[in-house]
């Protein structure tokens, strides 16, 4: 693995740019190669088998670009395809998912407490978060809730208004989340509504942002193995499997600045 090789990041679409943004914040000298599978969006309602097939093909693309790391930014793909992607990649690159760092944070900070998770149906119903949390933190009271309305809400720009407030509140008031001391944001899109979630939960509940925890874990890995880039090796690249101008304009919401998307028809 070469330190000046790029970091590959993939997601079902544009939402994973929140993870790319968190990575950039702690590793500004790295070159990113981002792939958003907009042709198959959303992954949150897809079968495990479909997500696995998409994820392996995208990983192949990122490996062909010489990436030293493949970061699965999508929680749904992290739940469905991490083991397979890791096996497929072997020693060619280091594979990260967004679930393990958040699970590690819970193990270190929230033993013997009640912790919640919100995410897509795929992420919650897969039981991957729950399985990993229970095996590492046996005395925990772990709750999870699928919150499928939040992704379309955020993509349509319904943020910080009465409608978003009402829907988020309704989800957070669900009895299954009562008594939690921390809440994992288990979806690429949720950092966009983090402020609203923090305000609704109050200061006694810690909000765990899986984009930030994976960015920290990635930095720790690169520093420890002396694999961090010494100087910026090249420009960041952003690919999507199906381009529309709407996808390009929404990049600003998730990345903080508008980026140019290259159409790469991986499925043809
Ligand atoms: N990227 C997905 C996730 O983090 C959310 C959007 C989708 O369902 O594709 O689970």
Q: Which residues are catalytic?
A: 74, 187
Q: Whose CA is nearest to atom 1 of ligand 1?
A: 74
Centre of ligand 1 from the C-alpha of residue 108, in Å? 26
The answer to whether residue 2 sits within a structural domain is: no
* H/E segment holding residue 195: helix 194-201
> Which of 9, 10, 13 for mutating ligand 1's site (highest number of atoms within 8 Å of CB)?
13
Do 218 and 251 belong together in one domain?
yes
The model scores a pTM over 0.95: yes
Instruction: In whole angstroms, give the CA distance from residue 146 to residue 155.
Output: 17
CA distances from 142 to 151, 179, 200 (A): 23, 11, 20
Residue that terminates a domain, selected from 169, 191, 210: 210
Q: How does residue 171 score in pLDDT terms, banded at 50, 70 and 90?
A: very high
CA distances from 171 to 65, 81, 146, 164, 210 (A): 41, 27, 9, 11, 19
Residue that terminates a domain, selected from 193, 210, 227: 210
Q: Which domain holds residue 110?
A: 100-210
Do 105 and 145 belong together in one domain?
yes
Do 184 and 222 belong together in one domain?
no
The answer to whether residue 1 sits within a structural domain is: no
- Which three-class secondary structure state does DSSP give residue 266? coil
Indicate if ligand 1 lies below 6 Å from the C-beta of 151. Answer: yes
**Rounded average pLDDT over 139-167:** 95
b/e 211-223 (16+ beta carbons within 10 angstroms → b): bbbbbbbbbeebe
Indicate if ligand 1 lies below 6 Å from the C-beta of 155. Answer: no
Residue 15 has pLDDT above 80, yes or no: yes
Q: Whose CA is nearest to atom 8 of ligand 1?
A: 44
Residue 24 has pLDDT above 90, yes or no: yes
Q: Do 46 and 148 touch, CB atoms closer than 8 A?
A: no
Instruction: In whole angstroms, give the CA distance from residue 206 to residue 183.
Output: 6
Number of domains in the chain: 2
Which of ligand 1's atoms lies nearest the C-alpha of 44? 8
Residue 230 has pLDDT above 90, yes or no: no
Do 203 and 117 belong together in one domain?
yes
**CATH number, residue 89:** 3.40.50.1860
Do 164 and 227 belong together in one domain?
no
Do 200 and 222 belong together in one domain?
no
Do 182 and 237 belong together in one domain?
no
Indicate if ligand 1 lies below 6 Å from the C-beta of 154. Answer: no
The answer to whether residue 167 sits within a structural domain is: yes
Q: How does residue 233 score in pLDDT terms, banded at 50, 70 and 90?
A: confident
Report the chain's mean pLDDT, rounded to a whole number. Answer: 96
pLDDT, tens only, 176-222? 999 999 999 999 999 999 999 999 999 999 999 999 999 999 999 99
Do 15 and 91 belong together in one domain?
yes
Token pair recorded at residue 51: 């997500």
């Amino acid at each position: 693995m070469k330190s000046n090789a790029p970091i590959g990041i993939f997601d079902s679409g544009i939402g994973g740019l929140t993870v790319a943004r968190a990575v950039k914040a702690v590793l500004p000298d790295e070159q990113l190669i981002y792939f958003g599978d907009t042709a198959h969006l959303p992954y949150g309602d897809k079968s495990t088998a479909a997500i696995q097939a998409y994820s392996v093909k995208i990983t192949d693309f990122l490996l062909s670009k010489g990436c030293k790391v493949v970061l699965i930014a999508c929680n749904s793909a992290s739940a469905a395809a991490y083991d397979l992607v890791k096996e497929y990649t072997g020693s060619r690159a280091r594979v990260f998912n967004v679930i393990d760092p958040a699970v590690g944070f819970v193990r270190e900070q929230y033993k013997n407490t009640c912790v919640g998770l919100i995410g897509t149906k795929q992420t919650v119903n897969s039981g991957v978060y729950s399985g990993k949390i229970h095996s590492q933190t046996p005395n925990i009271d772990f709750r999870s809730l699928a919150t499928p309305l939040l992704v379309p809400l955020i993509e349509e720009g319904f943020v910080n208004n009465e409608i978003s407030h009402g829907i988020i509140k309704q989800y957070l008031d669900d009895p299954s989340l009562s008594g939690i001391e921390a809440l994992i944001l288990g979806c690429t899109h949720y950092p966009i509504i983090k402020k609203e979630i923090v305000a609704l939960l109050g200061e006694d509940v810690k909000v765990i942002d899986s984009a930030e925890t994976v960015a920290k874990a990635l930095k720790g890995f690169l520093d420890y193995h002396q694999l961090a880039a010494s100087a910026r090796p090249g420009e960041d690249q952003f690919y999507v499997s199906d381009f529309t101008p709407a996808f390009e304009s929404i990049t600003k919401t998730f990345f903080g600045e508008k980026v140019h998307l290259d159409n790469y028809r991986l499925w043809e």
